Structure 1
Amino acid sequence: MVTVLVSVPAELPAPLPAELHYDMTDPYAVRLSIGAPTARPVDWMFARSLLTEGLQRPTGTGDVLVIPLHRCRPGSVRIVLRSAAGHALVDIAAAAIDAFLRRTVSLVPPGTESRHIDMDRALAELTGGQD
């Protein structure tokens, strides 16, 4: 668990608890859960490689961007989350992301993700469980 600073338009930035999750059965993805301890968290799924690259340089397109904040907030990374409902800026300590990514790499090294995918399950999900 880590505290992130969440900014949304027309509101003051708010510190909120957050957690990064990794599941070896979905080895290309990470999940960011943000929310107050008593509230249902908001989850965002995106590529582990996006988070890794975003520690070094701005990266991403579409719904998720990851930007290191070397100049304005050293030691932090900003994750920009966008949807049809709006957008949020999530600032998180780069050290927390780095530690999380090191744990994921110890479980599934980059380049070996395809060895951890259950193709039968993936095909069943894509076809709605039909043969």
Structure 2
Amino acid sequence: MTAQLVVSRAYSLPLCMRLRYEPSDPYVVLAVFFTHSDEPVEWVLGRDLLADGLKGSAGHGDVRIWSAVGRGDAAMYLALGSRMGTALLEVHVRDVKTFLESTEALVPRGTESGRIDWDAELAYLLSQS
């Protein structure tokens, strides 16, 4: 999908954004932004966070998402912050909604925990200590 990197009120840059969902990691959406650099920029987002952002303001800290649908605009905004700064991205609500509907066809909301291999997760955590 196409996103706009908002630089100012009057200026934005188009960039390609890909959302990826893996049923084996059912709470997570990987957002990949293809900029003009050699490597794409990846952010891990919560699927519920994206869904909540369709209805209003969601998130805090480094990731904030809100929709402008109620103001006559069909846009959704993602503010992503890091040590390097903050990026404000504008995407079409329709694109995010379609993506989320396809993820829910794979793993309905509320059934995510049944997709996690808890034994493997515990073994991983124990190996890290």
TM-score, length-normalised on structure 2?
Answer: 0.88
Partner of 1:113: 112
**Amino acid aligned to 2:54:** L
Whether the 8 Å CA contact 1:18–1:35 is kept in 2: the answer is yes
Partner of 1:82: 81
Structure that is richer in helix per residue: 2
After TM superposition, give the deviation of residue 123 of structure 1 in Å: 1.6
After TM superposition, give the deviation of residue 40 of structure 1 in Å: 1.6
User: How many residue pairs were aligned?
Assistant: 127
Partner of 2:95: 96
After TM superposition, give the deviation of residue 103 of structure 1 in Å: 0.4
SS in 2 for 1:60: strand
Whether the 8 Å CA contact 1:8–1:87 is kept in 2: the answer is no
Structure that is richer in strand per residue: 2
The structure-2 alpha-carbon separation of the partners of 1:62 and 1:38, relative to structure 1 and needing over 3 Å to count, comes to: closer
Q: Segments of 4+ in structure 1 off by > 2 A?
A: 36-39, 70-73, 127-130
Deviations along 1:13-65, whole A, 9 cap, x unmatched? 21001101101111011111001377321010011000001011011112111
TM-score, length-normalised on structure 1?
Answer: 0.87
The structure-2 alpha-carbon separation of the partners of 1:124 and 1:8, relative to structure 1 and needing over 3 Å to count, comes to: farther
SS in 2 for 1:109: coil
Work out the CA distance in 1 between the residues paired with 2:46 and 2:67.
16
Give the gaps of 5 or more residues in structure 1.
Answer: none
Whether the 8 Å CA contact 1:17–1:37 is kept in 2: the answer is no
